[in-house]
């Protein structure tokens, strides 16, 4: 019997038959604690912490600084007694002497975030003596009073931070009166059921992992600045002229694009009410972060749409941009179409936030997402411009609505934001080759020394190309192949179930894998293993032709579909297609039998949307 078992195990190994994906011990413990389950559903003991932020801050455009006071009510919903607390001070990225994975201009370097007051649960903390573990951007504080399970504590912080003006990183002053402010206030890190405190440092490459929090923010800025932010403004009547407020309210219910503020309004001084400063009062609920943009002379366009046919809930798609910026006069329309596609096509989940504002300072390209806000450039090519807007807006779902940990698994959000524009791009131009470009980027890098498995933690990437491909191109390609395997309908059904189960929580890759397994009724380990856990590449080739029989070899370790185009001696053409599941049993060859008496003149394997590392073995001519 033992001999038979050993032979069976050797056969499994030799044939490459997929077994269950590896489960790290910290995730095994989550299963034991019943915070998560192996069928992809949150466990009966799942918990999540949360904070309420009350922030009063002032932006000084003379000193290029922000000073503020915040009172945070932190809710420890966990079963654990917290002996320490971790506070993120993101802008210590620019503190002189700190380690960075992203370039910083010397003129942006500072002495870091200046915390002048810190009170936790009524106890005063000395910034010179009580911060023994202040590393790069995480302030790990040993608490004087422990935070008991299912209790709350209050934290008060006074701080000041300089605004980068030369290059910045996700926050900066741009030339000519434009600011985008993100990662700007001291923030409680995530304490979760898998790792405890998230202590990954912000060194430039990593991005979001936040709890869902509530914000009451009062922002005082010079009176000639228009401000848009996460959340909804509560006192526009105190700041903007009546006509502007009325246009804004019209945009909230209009299917057409409304020019809320134009250059004519600025020239006639018809935008702001008088005063030296204005305090914008804003509320936002159940959002992972808070950011804002401000400008002295941006055009402001907006249009809204119904995103939920059952409730008729509307969402505002609005944009701020310098007058004359290429393509941006169409940005509100593209934003509106993007939100409509996401709400009703793919993923097909009603857009979760009341507005989505896309901001442009006039720079050439690139973009950065934050909840309800995006900071976008102005690509010269229209298709690239539309894809950029869509990409950043799609982050509203991943990572924000879904609460994913982008610091560990960037492919769980950037991968979706790189995959989803493919379908949208074809609604604008049926000839769009967006997906081909994403796949080509992956294929060019796949199999190289620097190509790490997707399940390598994102913060462990020290090579930009490796991080970029693993976050964007490879997962986008993997999602595309998965969609080909499951078919459009089942793929969408599984994705929606994953979103229904885990929105507002903190899903792990295993929760995603297990949900797709459960909804599809298939063990997809044969797909998850190579595409997410192994280095490698996809590569199919025509190995042999014997009469009307064609042998396709799987030279790479990533499974992909077969699409074989052939031409007969009498000039007829046809296609033989087989899904990637043909490889799930571990086979490395597959024989295709063409119709009897077929005399093959030409064979061509694949298409630009099926990833293939080596195309030299994809052609055969008689």
- Evaluate if residue 601 carries a pLDDT over 60: yes
Q: Domain for residue 8, yes or no? A: no
CA–CA distance, 149 with 75 (Å, rounded to integer): 9
Query: Are residues 258 and 195 both part of a single domain?
Result: no
- Does residue 303 carry a pLDDT above 70? yes
Q: Flag whether 575 is in a domain.
A: yes
Residues 229, 145, single domain; the answer is: no
Q: How far apart are the first and last CA of the chain?
A: 51
Does the residue 467 lie in any domain?
no
Shared domain for 253 and 141, answered yes or no, is no
CA distance 482 to 479: 5
What mean pLDDT do residues 242-255 have? 98
Residue 261 counted as domain residue:
yes
Q: What is the DSSP string of 66-131?
A: EEEEEEEEEEE-SSSPEEEEEEE-GGGGGBTT---SS---GGG-BS--EEEEEEETTEE--TTTS-
Residue 12's pLDDT band, with cuts at 50, 70 and 90, is very low
Residue 273 CA to residue 226 CA, distance in Å, equals 11
Q: Within a domain: residue 435?
A: no
Q: Could you tell me the CATH number of the domain that includes residue 261?
A: 3.30.2010.30
Instruction: Note whether 255 and 347 are same-domain residues.
Output: yes
Q: What is the CATH number of the domain that holds 550?
A: 2.60.40
Q: How far is 307 from 328, CA to CA, in rounded Å? A: 23
Same domain, yes or no, for 200 and 233?
no
What pLDDT, on the 0 to 100 scale, is given for residue 366? 87
Residues 249 and 152 in one domain: no
Q: What is the distance between the alpha carbons of residues 494 and 290, in angstroms, rounded to a whole number?
A: 30
Kindly tell me if the per-residue pLDDT of 442 is higher than 50.
yes
Q: Would residue 413 count as lying in a domain?
A: no
Does one domain contain both 116 and 251? no
Average pLDDT over residues 477-484: 98
Residues 251 and 365 in one domain: yes
Distances (CA, A) of 177 to 226, 333, 589: 10, 25, 62
Q: Which of 143, 175, 204 is the last residue of a domain?
A: 204
Q: How far apart are CA 48 and CA 76, in angstroms?
A: 8
Whether residue 20 has pLDDT greater than 90: no
Which of 348, 379, 410 is the last residue in one of the domains?
Answer: 379
Query: What is the torsional sign of CA 321, 325, 330, 335?
Result: negative
Final residue of a structural domain among 322, 350, 379: 379
Is residue 16 over pLDDT 80? Answer: no
Cis status of the peptide bond prior to 322, with omega within 30 of 0:
no
Lowest mean pLDDT among 27-36, 144-153, 275-284, 593-602: 593-602
Residue 238 sits in the same domain as residue 141:
no
**Does any domain span residue 492?**
no
Render pLDDT for 60-107 as a digit per residue (tens, 0 to 9).
999 999 999 999 999 999 999 999 999 999 999 999 999 999 999 999
Q: How many other C-beta atoms are found inside a 10 Å radius of the C-beta of residue 411?
A: 26
State the DSSP code for 581. G
Determine, yes or no, domain membership for 284.
yes
| Mean of the per-residue pLDDT values of the chain | 94
Tell me, yes or no, whether 57 and 136 share the same domain: yes
Q: Same domain, yes or no, for 192 and 260?
A: no
Span 127-180, pLDDT tens digits: 777 765 667 999 999 999 999 999 999 999 999 999 999 999 999 999 889 999
State the residue range of the domain holding 596. 540-621
Distances (CA, A) of 92 to 164, 208, 340: 12, 16, 39
% of the chain at pLDDT higher than 70: 96
pLDDT at 229 over 70: yes
Q: Are residues 58 and 144 in the same domain?
A: yes
Residue of higher predicted confidence among 437 and 364: 437
Angle of CA points 274, 278, 280, to nearest 5°: 135
Q: Provide the number of structural domains found in the chain.
A: 3
CA distances from 188 to 53, 148, 160, 218 (A): 10, 17, 17, 19
């Amino acid at each position: 019997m033992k001999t038979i078992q050993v032979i069976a195990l050797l056969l499994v190994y030799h044939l490459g038959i997929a077994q269950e994906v590896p489960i790290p011990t910290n995730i095994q413990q989550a299963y034991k604690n019943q915070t998560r389950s192996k069928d992809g559903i949150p466990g009966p003991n799942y918990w999540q912490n949360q904070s309420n932020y009350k922030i009063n801050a002032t932006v000084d455009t003379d000193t290029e600084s922000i000073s503020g006071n915040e009172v945070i009510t932190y809710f420890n919903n966990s079963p654990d007694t917290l002996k320490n607390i971790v506070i993120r001070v993101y802008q210590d990225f620019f503190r002189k002497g700190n380690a960075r994975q992203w370039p910083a201009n010397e003129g942006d370097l500072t002495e870091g975030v200046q915390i002048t007051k810190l009170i936790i649960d009524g106890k005063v903390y000395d910034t010179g003596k009580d911060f023994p573990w202040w590393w790069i951007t995480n302030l790990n504080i040993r608490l004087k009073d422990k935070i008991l399970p299912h209790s709350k504590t209050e934290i008060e912080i006074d701080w000041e931070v300089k605004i980068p003006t030369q290059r910045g990183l996700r926050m900066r002053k741009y030339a000519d009166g434009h600011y985008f402010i993100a990662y700007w206030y001291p923030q409680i890190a995530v304490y979760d059921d898998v790792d405890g405190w998230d202590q990954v440092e912000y060194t430039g490459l990593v991005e979001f992992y936040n709890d869902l929090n509530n914000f009451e923010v009062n922002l005082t800025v010079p009176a000639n600045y228009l401000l848009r932010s996460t959340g909804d403004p509560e006192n526009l009547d105190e700041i903007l002229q009546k006509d502007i407020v009325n246009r804004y309210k019209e945009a909230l219910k209009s299917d057409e694009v409304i020019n809320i503020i134009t250059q004519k309004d600025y020239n006639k001084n018809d935008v702001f009410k008088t005063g030296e400063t204005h305090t914008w009062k804003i509320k936002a609920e159940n959002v992972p972060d808070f950011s804002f943009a401000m400008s002295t002379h941006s055009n402001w366009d907006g249009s809204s749409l119904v995103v939920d046919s059952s409730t008729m809930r509307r969402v505002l798609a609005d944009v701020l941009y310098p007058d004359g910026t290429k393509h941006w006069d169409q940005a509100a329309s593209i934003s509106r179409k993007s939100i409509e596609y996401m709400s009703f096509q793919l993923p097909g989940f009603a857009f979760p936030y009341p507005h989505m504002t896309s901001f442009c300072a006039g720079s050439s390209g690139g973009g950065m997402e934050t909840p309800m806000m995006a900071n976008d450039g102005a690509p010269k090519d229209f298709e690239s411009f539309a894809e950029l807007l869509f990409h950043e807006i799609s982050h509203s779902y991943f990572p924000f609505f879904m609460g994913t940990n982008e610091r560990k698994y960037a492919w769980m959000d950037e991968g979706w934001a790189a995959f989803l524009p493919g379908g949208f791009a074809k609604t604008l131009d049926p000839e769009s080759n967006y997906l081909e470009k994403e796949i080509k980027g992956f294929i060019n890098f796949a199999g190289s020394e620097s190509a790490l498995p997707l399940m390598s933690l994102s913060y462990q990437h020290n090579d930009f190309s490796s991080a970029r491909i693993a976050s964007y191109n490879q997962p986008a390609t993997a999602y595309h192949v998965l969609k080909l395997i499951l078919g459009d309908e089942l793929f969408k059904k599984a994705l929606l179930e994953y979103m229904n189960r885990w929105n507002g929580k903190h899903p792990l890759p295993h929760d995603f894998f297990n949900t797709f397994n459960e909804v599809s009724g298939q063990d997809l380990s044969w797909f998850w293993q190579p595409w997410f856990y192994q280095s490698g590449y996809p590569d199919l080739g025509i190995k042999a032709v014997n009469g009307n029989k064609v042998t396709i070899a799987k030279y790479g370790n990533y499974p992909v579909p077969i699409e074989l185009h052939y031409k007969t001696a009498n000039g007829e053409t046809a296609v033989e297609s087989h899904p990637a599941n043909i490889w799930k049993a571990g086979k490395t060859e597959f024989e295709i039998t063409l119709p009897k008496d077929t005399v093959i003149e030409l064979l061509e394997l694949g298409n630009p949307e099926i990833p293939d590392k080596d195309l030299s073995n994809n052609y055969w001519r008689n």
